[in-house]
Each structure stands twice: as C-alpha cells, then as structure tokens.
Chain A
Amino acid sequence: MGLPLFSAHGDPGPSFWHYADTVGLAPLAAVLHDEAPHATTVIAVRYDQGVVMVGDRQATGNYIASRDVRKIEPADRYTALAISGSAARGMELLKIAQLSFEHYEKMTDSALSLEGKANYLSPIIQRNNLSSPLLVLPLLAGWDESHLVGRIFEYDGAGGCYERFDFATIGSGSPFAEGALRLGFRSDLDREAALELGALALYEAGDNDPSTGGPDFVRNIFPMMITVSAEGFQEIAGPEVGGRFRLINERRTESRGVAGGSLR
C-alpha cells in the first residue's frame, strides 16, 4: 500500500469508512451464512449527569460460546458503543467506529459531535444489514460536550437512528429489561439510582432470556457496567458490580424469586 493521495475531486475527506470503501478495504459488506455466536442484552439509562450502560457477557451460538465477552466498548473518550447481533460483525463495527471517530479528529483537528457520530453509523449498519444475514444492531450512548447532557441513540435493522430520551435496550433479552426499566425509570435519576435500575433490568433479562448471561456467581463473572459523563467513559470495577448483583440476588432469594416490591 503506497501513500494514499487523491486529487481534489476524488478525495474521500475525513471519513475513514468512505476512504476504506474507495480503496477496497471495504469493511462490513460480506455475505456469509454462518451460525456465528451472537450477543445479547445491553441497556442504556439516562441520568442527570450522563448515561449508564449495562451489558451481559455471554456469547451464544448453539451452545454458550463465551462467558466473558465485552459488548460495550469506548468508541472514544466520551462515547460508548454496545453491540448485539452477530459478534463478528459487531466487533468489526466497533473497530470501524473507533477508527473513524479518531480518524476524523486527526484529519480535521476537531472531534465529531455526538449526533455526528450517531448519524455516521447509520449507513454502515444499513449496508451491513441489507447485504448480510449477519445482522448487527448497536447502541450508542455518550456525553454531548456541546450541550452538556448524556444522550442515547438506538438503531433499527435498516440503519435508522433514533434518539431516546429515557432509556434503550438491545438484544434478545430486551423485552424483560424493558419491562423493568419502564417501571423503574424516573426523569430525575441520579448516577446511583441509574446504576441500580440498570443492574436490576439486566438481572431480569438474564433471569428470563436463555441467551443473556446474568451474573455468574460460580465464575465470578458479572455484567459490564459503565458510565459516560463529563469525566468520560468509566467502567465500574468488578467487585462493585459483583456487590450490586449479589444484593439483588439476595433479595430475590428471600422473596423466593418474586420480583414484586424489590424494584426500588
């Protein structure tokens, strides 16, 4: 690969994806039938100073392929990107997103806006999902530096991008997580309350959906919990996450599996 120089009219600009497309690196355009392990439940909840995200760790094919997958990654300092659907395509999308945001920043000496990052992914998802049976559906959440709020963007299979002002879920465990979130969400959640609600919603999904991995007390593997706020992307440490899930589990054991009353 030589020096990628372009004439002014053929220049792909600061977009890595368009550049990759121009030179035939062509990411996210394969058609391949494959029983790849797919990812499962991720939740994003807005709170007064940012966004909380919780994601399970299990990759499921015909059996459990992995118990410690990271489905939420920082796309950059202020943006978290979570994936559901085909693991292979999801990882590729993550890589492209991380690379593209950084590429744009280096090319133009300014970071993309959060909305710009969210919109950027739309055609990439569209291209992948309409050309490949290996669907990928991401969830993007971040701290909007220009408006000083946490924001959540979800996508449909055709690449449509929608902002959610309360919470959003992706993956097969969504209906169960969504139920818990709908009952527990308030518009004035603080960080602590949002973390608690997010953990509970994921516990519900893990409890009901066979391809969502709940807390694994045997192996000490717990769902990922992160926040994105003015301080940037921060992952909650393993022992704290474990403590939160142990607490929920104890309550649930006491009530013999009945969720009622333990929501708040």
Chain B
Amino acid sequence: MSNYFYVSPEQLIKDRAEFAQKGIARGRSIVAAIYDSGVVLVAENPSASLNKISEVYDRIAFAGVGKYNEFDRLREAGIRWADSTGYTYSREDVDARALANYYAQHLGDMFTEGQKPLEVEILVAQLGNKLRPTKLYRVAYEGTISDEPRFAVLGGDAETIKDRFALSEDSLQSLTVTLQNASRALSGPDRVIPAEELEVGILEDRGNRRTFLRLSDEQVKELLS
C-alpha cells in the first residue's frame, strides 16, 4: 500500500498559487486603459508575430500574459465562443461579461482540479455603445474576475506598473497621452521600450462594425514621439 501524505487545503492552494504566479512573472506585462474615445491595450512583446493582443469580436478584444500556448488556446476558444454565439443568436448578443465569466470558470476549474493551474492572466475589453458599457475585465490564474474601472495591469510586475501608471486627471485622456502613459508605466524610469517591442491594439469606433485595430510600428512611433 502506498503512502498518502496529508496536505492541508491551505497548503495545496498556496503551492498552486505560487506555481502559477512564478510562471506568470516570467513573462512581460500588459497595460489596458480606457481613453476618451476607446480602449487601448499595450503589451511589451519583442515578437512581432506571437501576439498577446487579439480581436475577439466587433467590440471585444483579448489580452493574455504568461505561458503563450496556454493563453493563445483561451484566445482561440474566446473567438469561437463569440462567433458561434453571434451566429446562433445575433451579433448584438455577444457580451464581454459572459466571455469573461467563462474564462473565470475555466481558470477556476483548472486551478482546483487540473493537473496544474494555468500560468496565465486574461483581460477581456469591451468598447461600449448604447447597449453596453465600456469595460475591462481582468481574470486571474485562479479564476478571480475583477471589473477594472479605468485601467488594468496584467503580469508579474502588475503592482509596480500600476503605481507608475499615473492617473493624473479625473477625465479620460486622448489616445496619445494614454499610450505614452502606458508605455512609461511598462518601461519604468530606467529604460525606454522601443516602439517595435510594443504591441498595441485599440478598440475605437471608426464607422465600421469591427472596432479592433492593431497599430503598426510606425503608428506607435508617431503616437509616442
């Protein structure tokens, strides 16, 4: 008969949390912020093709930090969920809150029941219209979902970056100011992240059904200059 050692639930959760946090801390962070006419997602990402930010639906975007294969799978599942929901019902029935909840449930399940917790943090952003508000939902590795009022930071360095992301004004800022602020918060005082290593996506009404736009290096450079 094999020996089973007793592990208290507190210890088990602590170990799993530590494991997930360590994995997440290895990657770089993401800042998402609401600006005066949309939502901007900014990731520090040296790769130009392995994206951390993605379009999900007409007014919904996704961002993930941590293990690439894990959050990319969640990204794909999100697109599938959104497209099939819109196909079954109507495009206007696709709601970011529902998607964030599904992510939260899945991450929660994996945290308690999975072989190992997922080493990811997810952000679901929604650009508001007359049906729904503009929202930033942050989903942590253990399934905690939080509704962030103005901006959200994902990744290992979240607390430091959060403090640096100065909310100087009460009112929402322009895209330029918000992006500069986000870039400064990600880089810290000692360095400057080159525009090529910033992955930037926005949700903004431009008269089209699809509001997501991935900004090119040139556009980012111009906004940061």
Contacts and interface: CB of A to CB of B under 8 A. Distances in A.
A120 interface: no
A109 B79 contact: no
A23 interface: yes
B103 interface: yes
A106 B55 contact: yes
A95 B55 contact: no
Interface stretch (B15-23, B83-91, B172-180): B83-91
B83 A109 contact: no
B77 interface: yes
B40 to A, nearest CB: 18
Contacts of A237: none
Interface stretch (A1-9, A162-170, A214-222): A1-9
A106 B79 CA distance: 7
Contacts of A20: 84, 87
A109 B102 CA distance: 23
Most chain A beta carbons < 10 A, residue from B76, B86, B87: B76
A16 interface: yes
B55 A5 contact: no
A23 B88 CA distance: 12
Interface residues of A, number: 17
B83 A2 contact: no
A88 to B, nearest CB: 16
A191 interface: no
B83 A16 contact: yes
B164 interface: no
Interface string B60-85: 00000000000001101111110111
Given A1-B84, A103-B83, 19 more contacts: A1-B81, A3-B102, A3-B105, A5-B77, A16-B83, A20-B87, A23-B84, A25-B84, A25-B88, A99-B87, A102-B83, A103-B80, A106-B54, A106-B55, A107-B79, A109-B49, A109-B51, A109-B54, A109-B214
Interface of A: 1-5, 16, 19-20, 23, 25, 95, 99, 102-103, 106-107, 109
